[in-house]
Chains A and B, each alone.
Chain A
Amino acid sequence: MNKLGALLGTSSKSGPTTKVPAWVSAVSGSIGVALAFLLFRSAGMWALFGGIAAGVFLGNMVYVLTMAKPRKG
């Protein structure tokens, strides 16, 4: 349970974590959705899936690698 919660980012007892702000998720997801619908308009719901997945993943990684401060302890 805790392991799945840690992977999903919802568990409160999952060891050292970095909190991704809501705006990072929202902005990157929105950009991903917009680009996916523009580039793969005929893909329908698959564009939504791919856009959200790619956008949020890239947003999370960019945030972790650039802005997130390592948590002490």
Chain B
Amino acid sequence: MALAVVSPVPVRSLPSMKAIGRSLAVVALVLAMFSVAATPIADAVPDKAAAAIDLVIPDNIQDLFGSSDASAAWWNPFSWSWGTLWNKVVKPCGVGAAVALVGKSVATVSTNTMLTLAKKNLVKVAGGGYAYIGWGVAGCIIGIINQ
């Protein structure tokens, strides 16, 4: 009792909002990791997993970048199957990048609209415009994998 009276600071204090936020973030991260680990991708989406493997190591790679014919070597762009490349790489990349960028923009603008209405400081994205380039690249990769 005497110790508590002479103590200049309380022995125990409530956790700060910062600590609560960090704890929530850790819990959410652990839950997400467990939920991802509990779902075997190959069992869940066999066709998509097979398609992803096919895209990385396609059986018909010579159909994409030429044939065994010496006059149609892989380095000759005229021998490439531009239609297949467009459908398998360029289009899903563009769609994924567009979707990711729209999602990122919608999220940031919604946040800042609410903060404007609440008369609080707006959020600024770390990296500025380069952050949007990074999200576009990420969306491109996800789009190709997820086709």
Q: Which residues of A contact B (CB under 8 A)?
A: 6-12, 14-22, 25, 27, 29-31, 33-35, 38, 41, 44-45, 48-57, 60-68, 70-71
Measured CB to CB, the nearest residue on chain A to B33 is A34
Return the contact of A51 from the options B39, B103, B108 (Cβ within 8 A): B103
The size bracket of the interface on B is: 35 or more
Contacts of A41 in B (CB 8 A): 44-45
Complex Cα distance, B110 from A56, in Å, reads 10
29 A-B pairs (CB sep. < 8 Å): A7-B108, A7-B113, A7-B116, A8-B109, A10-B124, A10-B129, A11-B124, A17-B121, A20-B124, A20-B125, A21-B126, A25-B125, A29-B104, A34-B35, A34-B36, A35-B35, A45-B96, A45-B146, A49-B99, A53-B103, A53-B110, A56-B107, A56-B108, A62-B25, A65-B17, A65-B21, A66-B17, A67-B22, A68-B121
Complex Cα distance, B125 from A57, in Å, reads 12
Q: A17-B123, A53-B106 are in contact. List 11 more A-B contacts (CB 8 A).
A: A9-B124, A10-B132, A20-B125, A25-B126, A52-B103, A52-B107, A56-B107, A61-B114, A65-B17, A66-B20, A67-B18
Known: A6-B112, A45-B99. A67 touches B21 (CB 8 A): yes
* B108 engages A45 (CB within 8 Å): no
Asked if B122 CB lies within 8 Å of chain A CBs, one says yes
Contacts of A20 in B (CB 8 A): 123-126
Binary CB contact string for chain B from 83 to 118 against chain A (1 if under 8 A, 0 otherwise): 000000000000110011011111111111111100
Contacts of B17 in A (CB 8 A): 65-67
User: How many whole Å from B48's CB to the nearest CB in chain A?
Assistant: 9
Asked if B50 CB lies within 8 Å of chain A CBs, one says no
Contacts of A64 in B (CB 8 A): 111, 115, 120-121, 123
Measured CB to CB, the nearest residue on chain A to B116 is A7
Complex Cα distance, B18 from A62, in Å, reads 10
* B103 engages A38 (CB within 8 Å): no
* B21 engages A66 (CB within 8 Å): yes
* A8 engages B125 (CB within 8 Å): yes
